[in-house]
Amino acid sequence: MEARLNHLVGCAWFWVWALVGFGLALGAVSLGGLLLLPLGLVALWMSSSETVRRSAFGLLTGAGGLCLPVASLQQGGDNLNARPWLGIGLLLALTGLAGHACRGA
């Protein structure tokens, strides 16, 4: 029972990290300091706990989660190529998921 609870807590923290990663990626490409500074401080605070830090692969998944809608928006445009955004988004998202799964959090 305790192992199941630890797994659920690890998954919850993974998705919190994913939200932070999405926000940091959005800040990096668009909103700058409006998101980077506060979310950077949140990430720093979250990394102070070993239990929470074990799920930090969510940062990659969150950053990939930003690239996927961009790819969708660029699909079919005149001079727009969605493939780089799709490839990077899938690579980041799947790497984050696989890393978290391999870590056993």
105 pLDDT higher than 60: no
What is the pTM assigned to this prediction? 0.84
In the prediction, which pLDDT does 29 show? 86
Greater confidence, 94 or 105? 94
Using one digit for the tens of pLDDT, what is the confidence trace for 38-67? 988 998 898 888 878 888 899 999 999 999
Query: What would the DSSP string read from start to end of 58-70?
Result: HHHHHHHHHHHHH
Closest CA to 64 of 36, 93, 87: 93
Closest CA to 100 of 19, 13, 28, 1: 13
The CA distance from 48 to 54, in Å, is 11
In the prediction, which pLDDT does 34 show? 83
102 pLDDT higher than 60: yes
